[in-house]
């Protein structure tokens, strides 16, 4: 069990993070984050208690909680029935459960940074900031308030 | 342990089936005409003002377009929008606040707009401002699809969400309780969209008038 838990980082519902949140492992986030989340090649789950006021970059993004910000899922974005998302989505695949609330734009992109063939009028791919410097295997985070 | 494995370790996680409430198929001439206007070119911006619908998003993005979703009715139903009315004890909707929070897009942003039947359900003070705002944020020659009830089915009549099944078929799913506010006559609809370029009416079998408007 301990080895398995090491594969996924966990931010509990009492944790508040303000600042840049990045890492090189999957993350289950059930607390509050304000700032920016960059898990470029990892998966992110925002739990039902999760409250995110940030732009989110990850490979797969599954949302159960609330997000105010743009979501960039390199592979997939899923909004579960309890999800509330105010912001734009850019991804290759989107799944929205009945009951989810979404306000924003959806841009389906095939392949990293490319639009679907024939689509001439889409906005350019979002700028990709360099990932934050990692000092440990776990997520690097800004100010943490518990 | 199994919880995290299910989240990340088991390949693509399948979503739960959509709502178990029944979806009633409904052929729609108006929607078919609307779809014809947005077939080409790719990359159009389509605004859906109904409740979030995976089917609608899949349909729009499947055509190669960008889908924008904004559930105007849910926003308009918020108690936070209520302010004291002119009559003592009455309440009305804060139109300014609503327009400050909703439909905030640059001018001429959208190639097409799906209003569904929101005009029948919006609080009275919001109807004209919303149509005027849609005029501003839609492009010249943009297509709008709007549905209107032809009769009042009473206070207990269900409210239906519209899901797109294909280019000529919609599916109705009973949604959250919204009360029908009014029944427009044709001349009222023409007056409501008087600033637009053209209006075409299609009458459905189920007491719904489908209207295709060109901006």
**Which tokens go with A21?**
């949140």
* Residue extents of the structural domains in chain A: 2-109
Residue A18 forms contact with B (CB below 8 Å): no
The answer to whether B7 contacts A8, with C-beta atoms less than 8 Å apart, is yes
List the domain boundaries for chain B: 20-214
Tell me how many helices (H) and strands (E) chain B has: 8, 11
**A76/B8 touch (CB, cutoff 8 Å), yes or no:** no
> In which element (H, E) is residue B3 found?
helix B2-4
d(C-alpha A98, C-alpha B193), whole Å: 32
Provide the token pair at A146.
Answer: 């518990």
Distance CA B64, CA A118 (A): 8
Chain A residues in contact with B12 (beta carbon < 8 A): 76
pLDDT at B13: 32
Quick one: pLDDT at residue B109?
96
Residue B30 parent element (H or E) = helix B29-37
Mean pLDDT by 10 residues, chain A (146 residues): 64 95 94 94 96 97 97 96 96 92 90 43 38 41 48
Q: Are A71 and A89 in contact (CB under 8 A)?
A: yes
pLDDT for residue B211? 96
Answer yes or no: do B54 and A116 touch at CB < 8 A: no
Residues 46-85 of B with CB under 8 A from A: 52-54, 57-58, 61, 64-71, 74
DSSP A64-95: SSEEES-EEEEEEEEE-TT-EEES-EEEEEEE
Q: What fold characterizes domain B20-214? A: Rossmann fold (3.40.50)
Q: What is the pLDDT of residue B170?
A: 96
Q: Are A101 and B52 in contact (CB under 8 A)?
A: yes
**Rounded distance between C-alpha atoms, residue B143 and residue B130, angstroms:** 16
CB contact under 8 A, B44 and A121: yes
Antiparallel, parallel or unpaired: β B23-27 and B169-174: antiparallel
Query: What is the Cβ-side half-sphere exposure of residue B176, based on CA atoms within 13 angstroms?
Result: 12
Q: What SS3 state is found at B109?
A: coil
What's the pLDDT at B16? 41
* Secondary structure, 3-state, B158-187: CCEEEEEEECCEEEEEECCCCCCCCCCCHH
From first to last of the 215 residues of chain B, give the pLDDT tens digit. Answer: 444 444 443 322 334 444 457 899 999 999 999 999 999 888 999 999 999 999 999 999 999 999 999 999 999 988 888 887 777 778 888 899 999 999 999 999 999 999 999 999 999 999 999 999 999 999 999 999 999 998 877 777 788 999 999 999 999 998 877 888 888 889 999 999 999 999 999 987 788 899 999 99
CB of A1 less than 8 A from some CB of B: yes
Euclidean distance between the first and the last CA atom of chain A, given in angstroms as a whole number: 25
């Amino acid at each position: 069990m301990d080895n398995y838990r090491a594969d996924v980082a966990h931010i509990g519902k009492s944790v508040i993070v303000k600042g840049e949140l990045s890492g090189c492992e999957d993350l289950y986030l059930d607390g509050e984050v304000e700032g920016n989340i960059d898990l470029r090649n990892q998966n992110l789950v925002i739990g039902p208690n999760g409250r995110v006021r940030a732009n989110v970059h990850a490979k797969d993004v599954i949302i159960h909680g609330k997000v105010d910000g743009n979501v960039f899922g390199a592979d997939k974005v899923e909004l579960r029935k309890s999800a509330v998302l105010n912001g734009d989505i850019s991804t290759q695949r989107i799944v929205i459960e009945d009951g989810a609330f979404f306000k924003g734009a959806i841009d389906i992109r095939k392949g990293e940074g490319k639009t679907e063939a024939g689509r001439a009028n889409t906005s350019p791919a979002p700028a990709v900031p360099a990932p934050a410097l990692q000092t440990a295997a776990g997520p690097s985070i800004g100010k943490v308030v518990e | 342990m199994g919880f995290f494995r299910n989240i990340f370790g088991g390949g693509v996680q399948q979503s739960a089936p959509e709502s178990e409430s029944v979806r009633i198929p409904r052929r729609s001439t108006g929607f078919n005409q609307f779809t014809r206007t947005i077939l080409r070119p790719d990359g159009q911006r389509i605004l859906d003002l109904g409740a979030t619908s995976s089917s609608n998003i899949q349909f729009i993005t499947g055509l190669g377009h960008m889908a924008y979703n904004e559930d105007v009715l849910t926003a308009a139903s918020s108690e936070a929008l209520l302010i004291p009315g002119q009559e003592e004890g009455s309440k009305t909707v804060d139109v300014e606040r609503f327009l400050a929070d909703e439909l905030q897009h640059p001018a001429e942003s959208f190639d097409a707009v799906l209003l569904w039947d929101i005009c029948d359900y919006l609080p009275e003070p919001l109807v004209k401002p919303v149509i005027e705002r849609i005029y501003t944020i839609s492009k010249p020659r943009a297509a709008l699809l709007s549905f209107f009830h032809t009769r009042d089915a009473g206070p207990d009549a269900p409210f239906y969400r519209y899901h797109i099944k294909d280019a000529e078929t919609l599916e109705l799913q009973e949604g959250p309780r919204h009360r029908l506010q009014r029944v427009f006559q044709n001349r009222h609809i023409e007056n409501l969209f008087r600033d637009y370029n053209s209006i075409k009416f299609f009458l459905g079998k189920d007491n719904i008038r489908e209207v295709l408007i060109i901006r």
